Amino acid sequence: MKEIAFLNGAFIPLAEAKIAVADYGFLFGYGLFETMRAYDGRVFRLDCHLERLGRSAKRLGIRVDVAGLEGIVAETVRKNGLKEARVRVTVSAGAGSLTPDPGSCKTPTILITALKYIPHSTEIYCRGWKVILSSFTRPTRSPLTTMKTANYLESILARQEARDFNADDAILLNDRGMAAEATSSNLFLVSQGILKTPGLESGILPGITREVVLELALDLGITTVETDISPGELMAAEEVFATNSLIEIMPVTMIDGRTIGNGKIGAITNSLIMAYRGLVHKETGALLTKRSSSL
């Protein structure tokens, strides 16, 4: 079955999708994207993703009607015949002059794809990720850190750095030396039973899954603090985990070769994983699989 994409008003085979060479997303990274996960054919928290996309687009001056994208996203998933899917909405300012002039871009480029997604195995969640502290940093004063822009070079290089050290991912500190986030996920730690995560002023993306975890922690009666987190505190934590829409909640059991806690998934992390999957089931109707049983 051919993969189908939505591009600028039409559904076409993904292999035939083309953008203009003068597209500002290609030339200058002047664009945004959202990566989402579909369960049983329904995208979890689609409205939150589109709302974030709309806020960022408005701030960057990209004229796009995100409200009209909801049905198109659902149709893209349906046309690809997918239940479990990795869905991406990419928006750029569109084609313009070859010298930087945003005013020359008249019509935004909109690309929506839905590809088959195979979740990580239960074994990986039980083992947890091994990560490193990256040499790349996140700026705290740039408004771009709060947007999911098409300029992803810093995260790509940090991820390559992790692979060079045979690690699953990398954690970037910010320009104040505090923990910010991983290459494509937010960070949480547990210390003395308190759940902590870097605040929005730490140079992080306000993740959709991060927000869900904060909601779930409140429901579960877990004390949560958004605050600066030093590398030392991160290393000394009882539990650490990363969050994004695809991996959901991934335990981190080793940082720079140092074991976190007892090297196994922690009780609070596990309770949040179960609560998250329960919420996904409630909102999408997706049946819980074997992976959704207690880790």
Q: pTM to 2 decimals?
A: 0.95
Q: What is the pLDDT of residues 69-78, one digit of tens each?
A: 999 999 999 9
Give the model's confidence band at 287: pLDDT under 50 very low, under 70 low, under 90 confident, else very high. confident
CA-CA distance, 135 to 170, in Å (whole number)? 9
Give the model's confidence band at 292: pLDDT under 50 very low, under 70 low, under 90 confident, else very high. very low
Q: What is the pLDDT of residues 222-239, one digit of tens each?
A: 999 999 999 999 999 999
Tell me the CA distances in angstroms from 277 to 83, 209, 291, one per residue in order. 16, 12, 10
Q: What is the pLDDT of residues 166-210, one digit of tens each?
A: 999 999 999 999 999 999 999 999 999 999 999 999 999 999 999
Q: Report yes or no: 67 and 151 within 8 Å, Cβ to Cβ.
A: no
Q: Report yes or no: 146 and 58 within 8 Å, Cβ to Cβ.
A: no
Give the model's confidence band at 289: pLDDT under 50 very low, under 70 low, under 90 confident, else very high. low
Tell me the CA distances in angstroms from 41 to 110, 156, 157, 273, one per residue in order. 21, 29, 33, 21
Classify 277 as helix, strand or coil: helix
- Mean pLDDT across 250-271: 97
To 10 degrees, the CA torsion angle through 19, 21, 22, 23?
A: 30
| Higher per-residue pLDDT: 26 or 294 | 26
Strand partners, 3: none
CA-CA distance, 164 to 268, in Å (whole number)? 31
| DSSP assignment of 240-261 | EEEEETTTEEEEEEEETTEEPT
User: 253: closest CA among 270, 276, 275?
Assistant: 270
Q: What is the pLDDT of residue 189?
A: 98
Q: What is the pLDDT of residues 85-103, one digit of tens each?
A: 999 999 999 999 999 999 9
154 has pLDDT over 90:
yes
Instruction: Count the neighbouring beta carbons within 10 Å of the beta carbon of residue 275.
Output: 19
User: 259: closest CA among 237, 279, 281, 244?
Assistant: 237
291 has pLDDT over 60:
no
> How far, rounded to the nearest angstrom, does the alpha carbon of residue 45 sit from its chain's CA centroid?
12
Strand partners, 197: 226
User: Can you list the alpha helix ranges (DSSP code H) found in the chain?
Assistant: 24-28, 46-60, 69-79, 122-127, 153-164, 208-219, 231-235, 267-284
Tell me the CA distances in angstroms from 131 to 23, 162, 178, one per residue in order. 35, 7, 16
Give the model's confidence band at 295: pLDDT under 50 very low, under 70 low, under 90 confident, else very high. low
DSSP state of 150: S
Q: What is the pLDDT of residues 203-229, one digit of tens each?
A: 999 999 999 999 999 999 999 999 999
